[in-house]
Amino acid sequence: MGRTVVVLGGGISGLAASYHLSRAPCPPKVVLVEGSERLGGWIRSVRGPGDAVFELGPRGIRPAGAVGARTLLLVMLGGSWLQTLEARGSVLSQELFQQQAQQAAAAQLGLKEPPSHCLVHLHKNCIPQYTLGHWQKLEAATQFLASQRLPLTLAGASYEGVAVNDCIESGRQAAARALGSEPNS
Ligand SMILES: Cc1cc2nc3c(=O)[nH]c(=O)nc-3n(C[C@H](O)[C@H](O)[C@H](O)COP(=O)(O)OP(=O)(O)OC[C@H]3O[C@@H](n4cnc5c(N)ncnc54)[C@H](O)[C@@H]3O)c2cc1C
């Protein structure tokens, strides 16, 4: 009977793993399990006010042609600035975020004109922040899986890099491990 590999999560990492599994010389049956109503995970374009295209995640991925060329500037705010506001109990309003983004665009890019279209989203915990000891924990988890011969392999932004290219590579390596081949071959 043919082998079946289940890929959990249809973000870019799971999609890359599925792609590489299905392109193997002797491909297994691939079952991609996605919990939401769409594939792509954090890579997501939406149409906002004025039919303008906004990227909710990485802006490096955008539609080809004129639509992509007009994709709007993404300003990401957060970190200690947001934590300080939260600690003070400040009201985290859309107006406050927009004002802060405009100030940053003006100060850092010289863009003084207010934007014609604006979409504000608060994504909490959207990019994994690796803490001290992350690599040791990952190594221990990987060794545990191998020593217990568990048919499970890890891929995605939570493990070895959050950038889209890291995620695609981690999906490729996970597919290779699931197929029992050397990830770096
Ligand atoms: C705002 C923002 C801007 C970014 N900008 C950049 C950038 O400019 N350049 C860059 O390289 N990277 C950028 N990144 C990082 C990059 O986009 C992400 O790290 C990457 O897309 C994560 O992909 P992933 O497949 O590992 O995880 P995700 O995209 O989180 O996908 C995981 C998928 O699994 C599904 N899922 C979760 N749990 C379950 C479950 N139990 N059962 C079934 N399905 C489940 C989720 O619904 C989701 O579809 C950005 C990220 C964000 C949030």
pTM over 0.75: yes
pLDDT at 69: 67
Distance (Å, rounded) from C-alpha 103 to C-alpha 124?
22
Question: Hey, whose CA ends up nearest to atom 19 of ligand 1?
Answer: 162
- Residues 170-185: pLDDT tens digits? 999 999 999 988 777 6
pLDDT score for 47 = 83
- Whether the predicted pLDDT of 70 surpasses 80: no
Ligand 1 probe mutation, 19, 42, 73, most atoms within 8 A of CB: 42
Residues flanking ligand 1, CB < 6 Å: 8-14, 33-36, 41-43, 57-60, 76, 123, 126-127, 156-157, 162-164, 167
Ligand 1 midpoint to CA 44 (Å): 9
Rounded Cα distance between 179 and 169, Å, is: 15
Q: Which atom of ligand 1 is nearest to the CA of 40?
A: 49
Q: What are the phi and psi torsion angles at 173 (to 5°)?
A: -65, -40
Give the H/E segment covering residue 4.
strand 4-8
Burial class (CB in 10 A: 0-12, 13-18, 19+), 178: buried
Report how far ligand 1's centroid is from the alpha carbon of 127 (Å). 8
Q: Whose CA is nearest to atom 50 of ligand 1?
A: 58
Task: Quick: pLDDT tens for 106-141.
Answer: 998 888 888 888 889 888 889 999 999 999 999 999
- Structural domains of the chain sorted by starting position, each given as residue range(s) with its CATH number in brackets: 4-39+128-178 (3.50.50.60), 77-126 (no CATH)
Residue 170 burial by Cβ neighbours in a 10 Å radius (0-12, 13-18, 19+): buried
Per residue in 5-63, pLDDT tens?
999 999 999 999 999 999 999 999 999 999 999 999 999 988 877 777 788 888 766 66
